[in-house]
Amino acid sequence: MTSLKEITKPIDINLAEFNSLYQETMHSNSMLLDKVLNYILKTKGKQIRPILVLLSAGLTGKINKSTYTAAILIELLHTATLIHDDVVDESDRRRGFFSVNALWKNKVAVLAGDYLLSKGLLVSLENKEYKYLHLGSDAIQSMSEGELLQIKKSRTMNIDEETYITVIRKKTASLFAACCSSGTASTTDDNNLIEKMKAFGENLGMAFQIKDDLLDFDLSNKTGKPVHNDLKDRKFSLPLIYTLKNISFIEKHSLLGILKNHTQSKEKIEHLIRRIREEKGFEYAEARMNEYKNIAFRTLADFPDSEYKKSLENLVTFITDRVY
């Protein structure tokens, strides 16, 4: 598998420029908020989303100031939603570090997330890039709807595959779509190309989330977050949904009982995971992930060969083959 460092070679200079500009936005006159923002910068992730913005722009034109505005907006929105997600999920870890809410409590975390959301919108306004406001707002709306739908279904413990697909399309794939469409829109006005890259981003986002769900079952704990967190939070991932669909009513009731009452029992959780493995829930989820992966590859096939296209193809593989 090609490393992320190799994948970003065509945009190394651009990524460095993005990071410089992004750091400039991560400051506040409030000492407390500034401390939080510095902590966020020090614990940043793989930057998949700004990488997608830059590669999408390079695929269809020349990376420019507008591209950087799009990448900064996307990363600010993404960071804000992660902070809010940790509050909603009551999670105290993020990327192997303490989450913002774990260190500064929920009130500060919510306000820090709000600050980053508003900062992202201001970046677009100050640069008169109004098209990104529409793309970003659409993504935030979809992500919020997806999160609320997931919370509702987790409470009723009633979710099927169709609902799961809707949730991850809204929660995760919508922002991936915004990455690719905004990057493309920064270098071309061709709506056909913009829509193609939006579709590419959405399918990549779907594959990304299914892979993320699979990694939650990983005993090696390389993800930087507690394993089996989705089960403990009663989140219905695809391996579990497939398993529940294919077992008897009595056993389904029994496994749901574990999710409802015994998520802190290591023995019960291991039994649940064993049944998922026996019913080939992991294989099914991986097959569905590969379906979205292959659609993403077919979309890229329509574009002429270039170093940006090659990097995007390698990024698809990186996302679906990663172990953390």
Q: Hey, what are 267's tokens?
A: 């023995």
DSSP 9: G
Which residue's entry shows tokens 């979710």? 159
The count of structural domains within the chain is: 1
The CATH number covering residue 254 comes to 1.10.600.10
Is pLDDT at 102 greater than 60 in this prediction? yes
Mean pLDDT of 299-306: 96
Is pLDDT at 281 greater than 80 in this prediction? yes
Mean pLDDT of the chain, nearest integer: 91
* pLDDT above 70: percentage of residues in the chain: 96
Asked if 203 and 299 count as a contact pair (C-beta separation under 8 A), the reply is yes
DSSP character string of 139-198: HHHHHHHHHHHHHHHHHHT---HHHHHHHHIIIIIHHHHHHHHHHHHTT---HHHHHHHH
pLDDT for 228? 67
Q: Hey, what are 1's tokens?
A: 């598998």
pLDDT for 226? 52
Is pLDDT at 231 greater than 80 in this prediction? no
Res. 45 pLDDT band, cuts 50 70 90: confident
From 68-72, 103-107, 183-187, 206-210, the region with the lowest mean pLDDT:
103-107
Mean pLDDT of 252-281: 89
Asked if 199 and 302 count as a contact pair (C-beta separation under 8 A), the reply is no
pLDDT for 312? 98
DSSP 279: T
Q: Which long-range contacts (CB under 8 A, 24 or more apart) does 199-202 make?
A: 199/299, 200/296, 200/299, 200/300, 200/312, 201/52, 201/56, 201/173, 201/176, 201/177, 202/169, 202/173, 202/174, 202/176, 202/177
Is pLDDT at 151 greater than 90 in this prediction? no
Is pLDDT at 157 greater than 90 in this prediction? no
**What confidence tens digit (pLDDT) does each residue in 193-228 have?**
999 999 999 999 999 999 999 998 874 545 444 556
From 31-40, 152-161, 194-203, the region with the lowest mean pLDDT:
152-161
What is the distance between the alpha carbons of residues 308 and 229, in angstroms, rounded to a whole number? 35
From 56-60, 81-85, 90-94, 281-285, the region with the lowest mean pLDDT:
90-94
pLDDT for 227? 57
**pTM of the full structure:** 0.93
**Domain housing 71:** 4-321
pLDDT for 219? 47
pLDDT for 223? 47
